[in-house]
Amino acid sequence: MNCKELEDLLSPYLDGELDASQRSSVEQHLGDCPDCKRALADLGAMHEALQAPALRYHASDTLQQRLKIKLRDADAREQRSVWPRWAAVAATVVIAAALTWNFLPRSDAPTTPGVDDAMVDAAVDVQQDAVKNGHLTELSSADPKAVQTWFSGKLAYVPPVPDLSAKGYTLAGARLDTVKGQPAAALVYQHGSDVVTVFVCPAQHGDTDLDTDSDDGYQVAYWTKGSLSFWVVSKLDAAQVKQLGQDLHQAT
């Protein structure tokens, strides 16, 4: 067995995928070849490092979908590449790790998020400011019709204001706001001691699927319907926010 033949067997060797004959040949070559032995050590160190608990991150639905696309693209490139298999695997892992890092919520590193990610960040920032300044509502009302009437003439659209009291969410009122430079209707609901704000903005794209994300301790569910986009922001747990998003998606 030569070094070129061994390159394709390093990763399955580490994963225990070789039969007894192949494993014996690999170990015999490794005993005689310092270069291949170092390559195996480097790959093993990477495998071990990837098991570190600090690298574990619960990816949002958006991130999981994007990772699947990126990994599929990486697999396609691997088939065309002249790299040895272990190097292609390393490249795929680096792509996945870099994507995870880029989409982790943080404010001290530059990012180039897509439209949805930027809106999630902006909606959370606006909600944090409203909570900090004690300015959650300009109009206090539990009457959906009164809230709709209040918005009339203030925006180029009148947002739907669902009555969610049967679901345990009491309408507390509303305010005018701006999210990422866009005018937004902010509908404020109370769920026990928790506050939920639903931002209703002009739609930027036609994706109607409900998606979820998280940022700085807040959970976000969002979707587009017609000419409007909806962004549910709360510190409720992810399952509650997703369910509320589904209920609103059906009601709007």
What does the pLDDT look like over 145-161, one tens digit per residue? 999 999 999 999 999 99
Please indicate, yes or no, if residue 134 is contained in any of the structural domains. yes
Same domain, 86 and 167: no
Within-domain flag for 210: yes
Cα–Cα distances (Å) from 141 to 3, 78, 175, 227, in that order, read 75, 59, 11, 26
Name beta bridge partners: 214. 219
Mean pLDDT for the chain overall: 81
Q: Which of 40, 55, 70 lies at the terminal end of a domain, its last residue?
A: 55
- Residues 192 and 233 occupy one common structural domain: yes
Chain segment 10-20, per-residue pLDDT in tens:
888 877 888 88
For residue 82, is pLDDT > 50?
A: no
Tell whether 194 and 220 lie within a shared domain: yes
Q: Based on the domain organization, do 25 and 74 belong to the same domain? A: no
Residues 45 and 31 in one domain: yes
Domain at 177, CATH number: 3.30.200.100
Q: Are residues 25 and 45 in the same domain?
A: yes
Domain count, the chain: 3
Give pLDDT, residue 101.
46
What is the per-residue DSSP string for 12-67?
Answer: HHHTT-S-HHHHHHHHHHHHH-HHHHHHHHHHHHHHHHTT-GGG-----HHHHHHH
Last residue of one domain, picked from the residues 79, 103, 127: 103
The 10s digit of each residue's pLDDT in 21-63 is 888 888 888 888 888 888 888 877 777 776 665 555 556 666 6
Shared domain for 153 and 245, answered yes or no, is: yes
Higher pLDDT, 76 or 43: 43
In a domain? residue 10: yes
Same domain, 4 and 76: no
Indicate whether 108 belongs to any domain: no
Same domain, 162 and 97: no
Per-residue model confidence (pLDDT) at position 107: 39
Domain limits at 21? 1-55
In a domain, 180, yes or no: yes
Do 244 and 132 sit in the same domain of this protein? yes
The verdict on 144 and 240 lying in the same domain is yes
In a domain, 141, yes or no: yes
Chain position carrying tokens 């926010």: 241
163-197 per-position pLDDT tens digit: 999 999 999 999 999 998 889 999 999 999 999 99
Q: Is residue 109 assigned to a domain?
A: no
79 shares a domain with 30: no
In a domain, 110, yes or no: no
